Amino acid sequence: LNDTARSAIPALQAALQTFLPRERLLSDPAECLTYGFDNSRRHGQPALVVLAETHDEVAQTLKLCNQHKIPVTARGRGTATTGATTAIEQGVVLSLERMRKILRVDPGNRLLIAEPGVTNAEVQQAAGEHGFFWAPDPSSAAYCTIGGNLATGAGGPRAVKYGTVRENVLGLRAVAANGQEIRTGSLTTKGVVGYDLTRLLVASEGTLAVITEAALKLTPLAETKRTLRVAYRDVHAAAHAVARIMAQPVTPCALEFLDHHCIDMTAGKRPDDLPDGARALLMIEVDGPESCIEGMQAAVIAAAQGTSNEALEVKPATSQAEVDALWSVRKALSPVLRSLAPKKINEDVVVPVTHIPELIERIEQLTTDYRLPIVNFGHAGNGNLHVNLLVHPEREDELERAHAALAELFKSVLALEGSLSGEHGVGLEKRDYIDQEIDAPTLELMRSIKRSFDPNNILNPGKSLPA
Ligand SMILES: Cc1cc2nc3c(=O)[nH]c(=O)nc-3n(C[C@H](O)[C@H](O)[C@H](O)COP(=O)(O)OP(=O)(O)OC[C@H]3O[C@@H](n4cnc5c(N)ncnc54)[C@H](O)[C@@H]3O)c2cc1C
């Protein structure tokens, strides 16, 4: 905070106290501390934390912060991996975690309306009781909120068939920086009146408005699902198979890729049932009507094998226990990765699926050139790879080499017509790289949109767009 803003905090606190009970306005630094982190492990100490329970409280808070020109960071559960949720400007953290009502489940119109603090898992539970689901399925579903999902544009394995947040939100109620209510979209699956502000707010990382209600588009649960694990001799064979699978008409509902590092690192922590020579895996799921599922599975297997039978093994699961066993490499991975190196730089770059083989080649070259272990897995059906650089910062120049490798990785991704982030977003981690992807006039247009929504630059300043 600059001196002027810091000196305005007592007046702001007094004004907030007129409508917020004491226990929902935190000012003790020890209590505020925990609201300054996210999963990037960065931290910014907030001066005040507001635990809002209603739309009106959000509106009043923003109006006052705008009057006093105090920065506000909206917060769901702080699981973002990019620093997007950290209170770097040390102003107010506006926590939405207590806005937890599901306001309407409407199977006839295939929609669910909820407040932003409802978790993704709670939405899935409520929709599931009516035979539906909400497509975005981040692996943090049990903890993260739909407000955070909307503001980051979250996705997960199902995105290959059902899309991310962007394709699965109908409309929003939100509050602009000056406290003004805005409503975007409609409750219909068609609607072309006005500019599409719903999709503008999606992935805007709390920099344009604070979402207080969302109408989510629901999809019927499929009657049945099949799970397969396909093993390949090398990463290139697996990467080529992804493009073959996506080029035929049956879209899998999960198409995940794991490289040889993932296989090696999880040895001893999963059933030892991989065929000899397996150096890459695809995890594939297909869902649909019971009457068609065998044919759908056969079509995907044929594409996974290719005309010259490139797969070492195709292993379908026949029971839930077998499904769990097949996914065990993927499940064992995150804890193992955390224990291997003190620092893990986890990128979530995305390229058109036909460019995955070239991306893999370039990453292998980076491993050699910069002498770093780089572990790759991810949502291959969307071309979205989690590229993990394992770093020991105490070793001489290793962090430096990692950053140089990262810059090369980003260059390669853009040269392959890709994008720097498929789902985690920009926040602070990628903010200073995005001008490599977005040209200057387009960035300037984005800045002018930001100024229209938030002329005093109080909403999550310093995030998403480079200065
Ligand atoms: C173990 C783990 C696994 C993960 N897996 C995935 C994955 O598979 N896919 C994926 O996409 N992500 C994943 N993530 C990242 C993270 O969970 C998502 O980005 C999630 O959407 C963040 O939700 P949140 O409630 O924690 O939001 P927060 O971290 O609290 O906030 C995220 C951003 O949204 C803004 N924000 C929050 N609420 C609002 C609101 N109501 N209005 C306006 N802005 C708001 C914040 O200011 C911030 O910029 C994972 C994270 C972890 C820790």
Report d(CA 184, CA 186) in Å as an integer.
7
Give kind and range of the element (H or E) at residue 24: none
Mean pLDDT of 50-77: 98
Residue nearest to ligand 1 atom 28, measured at CA: 78
Residue 328: which pLDDT band, with cuts at 50, 70 and 90? Answer: confident
Any atom of ligand 1 within 6 Å of the Cβ of 149: yes
CB 227 near ligand 1, within 6 Å: no
User: What is the per-residue pLDDT for 467?
Assistant: 84
Task: Give the bridge partners for 282, in sequence order.
Answer: 230, 257
Phi, psi at residue 229, to the nearest 5°?
-120, 125
- Separation of 160 CA from ligand 1 center, angstroms? 20
pLDDT in tens, 374-419: 999 999 999 999 999 999 888 879 999 999 999 999 999 999 999 9
Give the per-residue pLDDT at 424. 95
Instruction: Report the candidate in 236, 308, 330, 315 with the shortest Cα–Cα distance to residue 279.
Output: 236
Query: Where does the pLDDT of residue 338 fall: very low under 50, low under 70, confident under 90, or very high at 90 and above?
Result: confident
Hey, which of 40, 140, 166, 458 would you mutate to test ligand 1's pocket, going by the most ligand atoms within 8 Å of its Cβ?
140
- Sorting pLDDT into bands at 50, 70 and 90, what band is 358? very high
Question: DSSP readout, 60-83?
Answer: HHHHHHHHHT--EEEESSS--SSS
Is pLDDT of 465 > 90?
yes
Percentage of residues in the chain having pLDDT higher than 70: 100
pLDDT tens digits for 125-154? 999 999 999 999 999 999 999 999 999 999
Give the model's pLDDT for residue 332.
84
φ, ψ dihedrals at 26, nearest 5°: -95, 135
Q: Identify the pLDDT of residue 401.
A: 94
Q: How far is the CA of 77 from the centre of ligand 1 (A)?
A: 7
Mean of pLDDT values over 54-66: 98
Helices (H), 371-439: 398-415
CB-CB contact of 255 with 379 (8 Å): yes
Name the residue at shortest CA distance from atom 4 of ligand 1: 140
Let me know: does 114 contact 146? Beta carbons within 8 Å.
yes
| Unique residue bearing structure tokens 């770059």 | 349
What is the rounded average pLDDT for all residues in the chain? 95
The protein residue with its alpha carbon nearest to ligand 1, atom 9, reads 138
Residue 230 has a pLDDT of 97
